[in-house]
Amino acid sequence: MKRARNFNAGPAALPLEVLQRAQNEWLNIEDSGMSVMELSHRSSEFEKIHNHAIQSLKDLMEIPENYEVLLLQGGASLQFSMIPMNILKDGKRADYVLTGSWSEKALKEAKKVGETAVVASSKDEQYTFIPKVEDIKLNDDAAYLHITSNNTIYGTQWKDFPETGNNIPLVADMSSDILSKKIDISKFGIIYAGAQKNLGPSGITVVIIRKDLITDNDKIPSMMNYSIHSKNNSLYNTPPTLAIYLLSLVLDWAKEQGGVEKIAEINEEKAKVIYDAIDGSDGFYKGHALPDSRSLMNVTFTLPSKEAEVQFLKEVKQAGFVGLNGHRSIGGCRASIYNAVPLSHCQDLADFMKKFQESYKATEAQTL
């Protein structure tokens, strides 16, 4: 079978090696005589898988001892509510930086819980850039500062993170760029990420949280309470066992690639190939994001006309590329080049873009 060149924004491409290993273990995991989906989540076999996934993430991201890793459900969208419910105390305000649709949604949910404030935004400029760190003015009574580290829809990404100190935790939605580059975990109070872009399949959400932010509060519903999940090693209720198993395999694969630093090198090379095709097109392709805010995970661009975009998307699909339509809210085109997308697929896309430009211009010239 010929594998698709998959540029979907999420659920996204998984490493071929991971899928092959899962296939080999499909009917008999850990010599149990069962598939992972049939294991009890209280069994020793699954406990081994579960704890291996958590430890692997700690190793890869160099997570300090004063942080806990939780494996939760509900997607990153549930964290929009869980975070303020757990750490937005009375008399405090939650500060938000708006850089796209997902940060808007996070703010919307926080407003239902308590006081909020927008301390920086690029909305008026169609989210084409990330606000400068020095332009963020935190409130003295801020409970936390929330950012979205990478914006899948608009193709922008934070290059540097605000320094907030321990008293104002920095909270980051890293759903679309976690494990794509090395970061200093100690700068953050909470990092959360849906797995379905860089970590595995949909159905599991990783939360990396500083332990002092996990406090007992019996007014919070149990499933929304970090303390409950922490005390139960993320096994308070039946977890998505298959998703956690695949998460553990993806993390093993990441180690085999050389870890986060090596993955980051490859990601930079992949992005450069496609951005070079855009920048070298004499304006035929136009990137949405300003150059200093460009994402290494989601390359967003437009063509000279709607007709050209329709033709491009038709032909690129016929050529075996998948998932290049821009988000429905803004249109255009988008190549999501997460960790599992091979460099060769990015090179193939860049080659296609150059050939399409030549053929489209030639066709236009003939009709004049």
Exactly one of 181, 197, 253, 270 is catalytic; name it.
Answer: 197
SS3 category, 94: strand
Q: Which parts of the chain register pLDDT below 50?
A: none
Which tokens in the block code for residue 12? 């996204």
pLDDT value for 367: 75
Which tokens in the block code for residue 136? 């963020």
CA 107 to chain centre: 18
DSSP letters of 260-283?
Answer: HHHHHHHHHHHHHHHHHHHHTTTT
pLDDT value for 203: 97
pLDDT value for 364: 82
Which tokens in the block code for residue 207? 């939360």
- Model-level pTM greater than 0.95? yes
pLDDT value for 21: 97
pLDDT value for 368: 61
Q: Is 197 a catalytic residue?
A: yes
38: closest CA among 165, 71, 49?
Answer: 49
How does pLDDT run across 198-243, given as a tens digit for each residue?
A: 999 999 999 999 999 999 999 999 999 999 999 999 999 999 999 9
CA 345 to chain centre: 20
**Rounded (to 5) percent helix, strand, coil in the chain:** 40, 15, 40
Exactly one of 58, 95, 158, 173 is catalytic; name it.
Answer: 173
Exactly one of 95, 102, 181, 253 is catalytic; name it.
Answer: 102
d(Cα 134, Cα 123) in Å, to the nearest integer?
18
Let me know: does 53 contact 247? Beta carbons within 8 Å. Answer: yes
SS3 category, 11: coil
Domains and CATH numbers, the chain: 16-256 (3.40.640.10), 259-367 (3.90.1150.10)
pLDDT value for 13: 96
- Give the residues across from 208 on adjacent strands: 69, 191
**CB count in 10 Å sphere of residue 42:** 9
Alpha-carbon dihedral 45, 46, 47, 51, rounded to 10 degrees: 110
7: closest CA among 352, 338, 319?
Answer: 338
Residue with tokens 């806990």: 68
